[in-house]
Structure 1
Amino acid sequence: MIDYPAAAAVAAVIREGSFERAAAALAITPSAVSQRVRGLEERLGAILVVRGQPCRATELGRALVGHLDRVRLMEADLAPALGARAAGEAPPTLRVAVNADSLATWFPAAAAAFGRAAAATLDLTLDDEGHTAERLRGGEVVAAVTADAGPVPGCRTLPLGTLRYAACAAPDFAARHFPAGATAEAMASAPQLRFDRRDDLQARWAAAAVGVAPTGPVHWVPSTHAFLDLALAGLAWGMQPAALAAPHLAAGRLVDIAPGRSLDVDLHWTVARLPAASLRALTAAVTTAARRALMPPGGGGADAVAGRRERP
């Protein structure tokens, strides 16, 4: 049997990053946290926490924390029926992986609807939509917004809709770097925006729409809103979520460097198969918000380019 107080200590160390902060979160001493973690590791015959600054979970440690999260969700449903919920006890927390572009566009409406419907909190982990499902497979989260429609053991996957992107630049930037439009020559020299080293959306779009990869200088901008702001300021061109770019395109603050050649990313909701009320409420909120804000799944037009966003 699992020693759940010890497992809670492991989870606190992993999430807080140190034994001292874990002790403060659990309202016990650092020595007690250390004893619980070490005792559980000895019982299991395996390391659960890699000590360091910050402390990190081993693969088994992540699996243990994921199991503990699921147990807590189930207990939260059972406790009221047993009269066991203590006054002032913290509500359960749902740990969810979501990509930055969804968080900057349609996901806040889902989170707000969930907050009104359920007595639970959210702990959001940012990752690119091509990798969020791995967070589920590793037991780190109970649900994820993902571009990966592949099966995840113990989970079900629901289509959410399509997030559309447009290749945008400020008018003066476009006049200087794209006088003849998004040509192969322009792609070789025009400065571009990239979210991080895994963001190859610009390359995917250019290869499909223009026939070449962009090789111009790269500005690294790991923020959806800063990505848009720097394009507006005329620093570089980049792929912008259409929902964020639309008012700026309409007002002339941005231009589409290849009109009609958008890129569509199909998103899915992959969620653990747990009969927890809070998880059902979150799924309902996410699917409703996505249905209202996203295009229908696979609903791209003839000029849309299929792709996947490689940014968190």
Structure 2
Amino acid sequence: MEWDLPQLRALVTTVDEGTLEAAARTLHITPSAVSQRLKALERTVGAVLLSRSRPVRVTEAGKPVLQLARQLGELTSRTERALGASGGTLLRLAVNADSLSAWVLEALTPLAATTPIEFVRADQDDTAELLRDGSVMGAITSQARPVQGCRSTRLGTQRYHAVAQADFVARHFTDGVDRASLSAAPVVVFDEHDHLQDTFLRRHRIDPATPPHHVVPATAEFGEAVQLGYGWGMLMSSQFGTGERRVRAISGEPPERAPHVDVTLYWQQWELRTPDLDEAARLIRRAATDALEGAQPS
């Protein structure tokens, strides 16, 4: 099968920009030209690659072609840099919000000095799908099994503690942590993809839809909402707060002794070796040794 680089570039740009019109502006061609390139690519493959919705969506047949297109784009950019051309390929990485905020952003600072990076935020249970459909080159994920065409490395375990503001604990868990108190006490969740609190509630045989919910979809503000007494939530130790803001275990003990949920994280990346992607992997593995439980020294 003969691959045409402009056609593959049109596919990647259309997916990234969301519409043919936006892709045309980025590629400095007309929307008609973008459409023609996509149709020609689909004829080559013999399948529809994109659903022409707004934004466009990659079909199952389009996912491996999109991954190939991104890999060829990275190889092309790598060769151009070796020959002295300026610029670099955008490094797209899928990272869960907690890891991004707590340690990944700082870890990749040295790489950001030379390589443009786009972080795609998604729950750790969902980031592997972004690798699978070719949207990203690397991902921090809870999935151990390598996505096809990728390799997987265990990073370590992120521990989340069931905690709340001291007054909230005294008000809602006076008689201890049991089905009755957990069913009635308000809970803070990150978004509809946040299953940490659900996991804890199910351990106590409680339907997660039972207690009242507050939704706070930002890492810093999520921790602050728990510290302020909106409800109880699963926090990392870095979110416990200090002084009057320091939270307590919902059982009333110090937060470090709170009931917890552990999430094991893995780094997955393309099998295709590129210097930027390998450097991202090295920096992430090194940072994980300090940030996560049970991480192996890099």
Does the alignment reach a TM-score above 0.5? Answer: yes
> Does 2:285 correspond to 1:281?
no
CA distance in structure 1 between the aligned counterparts of 2:77 and 2:9, rounded to whole angstroms: 15
Q: Could you tell me which amino acid in structure 2 is paired with residue 293 of structure 1?
A: A
Structure 2: stretches of 5+ with no match in the other structure: none
- Rounded Cα–Cα distance in structure 2 between residues aligned with 1:275 and 1:127: 24
- 2:94 paired residue among 93, 97, 105: 97
Structure 2 Cα separation of the partners of residues 199 and 283 of structure 1? 25
C-alpha displacement at 1:177, in angstroms? 1.0
Distance (Å, rounded) in 2 between the aligned partners of 1:105 and 1:9 = 35
Quote how far apart the aligned CAs of 1:39 are: 2.3
Instruction: Please provide the CA RMSD for this pair.
Output: 2.1
Matches within 5 A, 1:177-196: 177-196=172-191
After the TM superposition, which residues 194-213 of structure 1 pair with which residues of structure 2 at under 5 Å, given as runs? 194-208=189-203, 210=204, 212=206
Name the CA distance, whole Å, in 1 between partners of 2:239 and 2:246.
12
Alignment CA distance shift 1:224-1:252 (3 Å): closer
Q: Percent identity?
A: 36
After TM superposition, the structure 1 = structure 2 runs for residues 86-165 of structure 1, keeping only pairs within 5 Å, are 86-87=85-86, 90-116=87-113, 119-165=114-160
Deviations 1:16-48 (A, max 9, x none): 011111111112222221221222223333222
CA drift of 1:287 comes to 0.6
Contact 1:13 1:22 in 2 (8 A): yes
**Alignment correspondent of 1:302:** none
CA distance in 1, matches of 2:13, 2:75: 19
Aligned residues: 289
Residue 50 of structure 1: how far off its partner (Å): 1.4
- TM-score, normalised with respect to structure 1: 0.85
- The correspondence for 1:220, drawn from 215, 221, 233, is 215
CA distance in 2, matches of 1:197, 1:16: 25
Any stretches of 5+ residues in structure 1 without a counterpart?
A: 299-312
| CA displacement at 1:144 relative to structure 2 | 1.0
Deviation digits for residues 239-278 of structure 1, max 9, x if unmatched?
A: 1122222x34x65432221342222211111111122111
Deviates more, 1:160-169 or 1:215-224: 215-224
Return the offset for 1:67: 0.9
Aligned AA for 2:247? L
Kindly state the Cα deviation for residue 213 of structure 1 after the two structures are TM-superposed: 5.2
